[in-house]
Amino acid sequence: MTRPTITEIRPHIRSYAELTSLEVELAKDRASLLVLPVGACEQHGDGLPLGTDNIRAAHVARAVVDRLTVLDERAGGDQGRAFVLPGIDYGVSPHHRFLPGTINIGPQLFIDLVASVVHQLADAGFDRLLVITGHGGNLAALGVIQQSLLATHPDFVFAYAPVSALATEATAALPRTEISGHCGESETSQMLAIDESLVDTDHLNPGATRLDDLDPRARLSRTKSPSTAVTFDRYADNGVLGDPRTATATAGEGILGEVVDRLVAYCQELQRL
């Protein structure tokens, strides 16, 4: 039996998992861009959900693909389509295991999982993919995958990006304590912007806010380079870096907007390759 051929992918489809087998072949033939959201299932203080990094990564991935789809429609289909892959909601979180809820799959399993997905897509004929990680702890593993792909699939374009760290301008405008990061002002603002009902505002408590309050090893770990790592109980009992009480949905919209703008501009370059 011969399979039918199609010439169009249904315009409302934005997600890889919603494509049919016929459509996915067309998506591959047209060099579609794939966007893979990854995150972590880990403690996010007393006020944010365990899946905070997945929720932010998935939100950004969808917003980027939605924008690219509109741009493609405006260009009469010349820009190319983009699709969000099913996300990976577990990550590299050994530093967050001291509080309940964290499920750490460790760097090796994370590398194997992402690499397996990417290898199958590359072997199927896709040639460009952007990983958006809501969790900074995955970045080193993503770097390993990127280097490994140069040996196994050198023509495959594998890009990866963090979320919060891309919003340099909006973050600079944010009132932040000297130490700020995990479950702090930026991350909490983003969650308020995405879905306020997921934030337990009664339990948004400050964590580590001043370098002078840290023990010497924890203080040293805040130096970006050279790099050392500590488990987050060394920063604060509640695992929070910063003061989430000053977070606002408006600030979160600004941060997410800047992240999406930057990624859309980058993805357009990817699509032109």
Structure tokens at 135: 């969790």
**Nearer to Zn ion among residue 39 and residue 80 (C-beta):** 39
Q: Is 89 in the site for Zn ion (CB under 5 A)?
A: no
CA 21/CA 2 separation, integer angstroms: 14
Give Cα separations from 50 to 12, 54, 200 (angstroms): 31, 9, 12
Non-local CB neighbours of 95 within 8 Å, separated by 6+ positions: 137, 229, 230, 231, 232
**Residue whose CB is less far from Zn ion, 14 or 182:** 182
Q: Please say which residue, 184 or 254, places its beta carbon nearer to Zn ion.
A: 184
Least distance (Å) between residue 163 CB and Zn ion: 9
Residue nearest to Zn ion (CB): 53
Query: What length does the chain have?
Result: 273
Q: How far is the CB of 189 from Zn ion (least distance, A)?
A: 12
Contacts of residue 230, defined as CB under 8 A and 6 or more positions apart, other chains included, come to 95, 217, 218, 221
∠ CA 26-31-34, rounded to 5°: 95
Q: How far is the CB of 123 from Zn ion (least distance, A)?
A: 32
Least distance to Zn ion, CB of residue 246, Å:
17
Number of residues that bind Zn ion (CB under 5 A): 2
Beta strands in 61-166 (DSSP E): 82-84, 128-133, 157-162
For Zn ion, the binding residues in 31-70 under the rule CB under 5 A are: 52-53
Residue whose CB is less far from Zn ion, 53 or 185: 53
Cα 101 versus chain centre, distance: 20
For residues 64 and 191, which CB has a smaller minimum distance to Zn ion in the complex?
A: 191
Q: How far is the CB of 45 from Zn ion (least distance, A)?
A: 9
Tell me how far, at minimum, the Cβ of 113 lies from Zn ion, in Å.
19
Nearest alpha carbon to residue 205 among 247, 251, 238: 238
Residue (45 or 80) nearer to Zn ion, CB: 45
- Interface residue list for Zn ion (CB under 5 A): 52-53
